Structure formats: structure tokens, C-alpha cells
Amino acid sequence: MSISVTTWYLEQTSRADLSPTSGPAPDRDVRILRSEVPSPEFSRFLYTAVGGDITWTDRLAWPYAQWAAHLGRPGVETWVAHDRGTPAGFIELVAEGGSVEIAYFGLLPGFRGRRIGGYLLAYGTERAWDLAERWPGLPPTERVWVHTCSLDGPHAKANYERRGFRVYETTVTEEPDAPAPGPWPGAGPLTADAPAGE
């Protein structure tokens, strides 16, 4: 059994493309901090907690050494939104030449729908544009790009577009219709009454 999955590739090619004030700020004490010490344990927690109900599976099999090698690369940054001290979501940036990919972005299910997502995305995109200032030897950012698909949250594509990203490519593929893995082994997918939204 397979399902049709649409993937959109979006980009900004100028810092002027960013629209950081396209929505209200969260009504809580939300702080965004860079996780400067590479921590495979923490990054894997964020990955599984955010992606467990939206079929993020490509890094589930990564061993510790692979996480450590990835996080230790120059130009890889993880920025974490904290709601009153609790991790609420993250954005991971990966620089390659003058291009910066938003490799992962999202919120833990319990924090969606609270206006944290747009705030974090705008802040993280700003950090993509000034990333080279924190990494001597890397070229200045000339492009920021991201991809999202129809398996992600229903507001994902629109959230990127509200921040000034433009679609430059769309693909449609057939993928196995597998249940989302849940946030940890044995947890299963979220139930219908669990919190949802952006």
C-alpha cells in the first residue's frame, strides 16, 4: 500500500526576502537559544519528539557517532525555542558553501498552535542569513532553502511562504503508507485527541 506525497522546495535568495513580522509574537515567555555544545542525545530527543507524529524516520537509525559527526560539522547549528524553560521546538541549519538549508524545523505537539512556530521560523531564518558571521572561513549566505511535504503539518508550507520563501520546485512520489513511529519506541502515533496545529 502506498500514498502519494507532494514535496515542495522553497528558497530565499536575498536577505530582503525575509518577512519576520508577518504574525504576532507568542503570548508566553518564549526564548530562542542556540544549542552550542553538540549533543547527540539532545538533538535526537528534539528530532524524535518533534517528528514522531509526522513520519520523520531518516535519522532514527543513526548511531551516536553519526550524530556527533554531523553536529560537529562547521556551519551546522541547532536553535531551540523554550517556553518558560521547556524545549518547545527547534530549527536546524546546515551550511554548504553559500547555501544554508533549514534541514529540520518544527514544534513538539503540545506546543503547536501557540504562535511559537512562526516566531521560531523567522528567527531561525535570520540566523541562516547571518550564519557565516559565527563561522570564520565560511562564505556569506547567498541562499536559504528548505523542503516540506504533504506529510508535514497542514500549515507548514504556508508558514514558510508567510516568511518570504518561494516555491522553486514541486515533486510527487509514491511512498509506503507506514504509520508514524511516535516520539519514542513503543509510543505509537499520537491519538486523535492529542494537540495539533502549527
Q: Summarize pLDDT for 1-13 with one digit per residue, the tens.
A: 778 889 999 999 9
In a domain, 193, yes or no: no
In a domain, 10, yes or no: no
In a domain, 58, yes or no: yes
Q: What is the mean pLDDT of residues 133-152?
A: 94
Domain that includes residue 140, residue range: 20-176
In 3D space, the residue among 129, 156, 148 whose CA is nearest the CA of residue 140 turns out to be: 129
Name 63's Cβ contacts closer than 8 Å, sequence gap at least 6: none
Q: Summarize pLDDT for 153-197 with one digit per residue, the tens.
A: 778 899 999 999 999 999 998 877 666 666 665 554 444 444 434
CB 139 within 8 A of CB 98: yes
CB 128 within 8 A of CB 122: no
In a domain, 62, yes or no: yes
**CA–CA dist 72, 77 (Å, integer):** 9
Q: Summarize pLDDT for 66-117 with one digit per residue, the tens.
A: 999 999 999 999 999 999 999 999 999 999 999 999 999 999 999 988 889 9
Is the pLDDT confidence value at 127 over 70? yes
**All cell numbers assigned to 12:** 530565499
In a domain, 14, yes or no: no
- Residue 157: the pLDDT is 92
Say how many domains are in the chain: 1
CATH code, domain with 90: 3.40.630.30
Q: Summarize pLDDT for 35-51 with one digit per residue, the tens.
A: 999 999 999 999 999 99
In a domain, 28, yes or no: yes
- Torsion on CA atoms 59, 193, 120, 82, rounded to nearest 10: -90
Look up the pTM and report it: 0.87
In a domain, 195, yes or no: no
**CA–CA dist 86, 168 (Å, integer):** 35
In a domain, 151, yes or no: yes
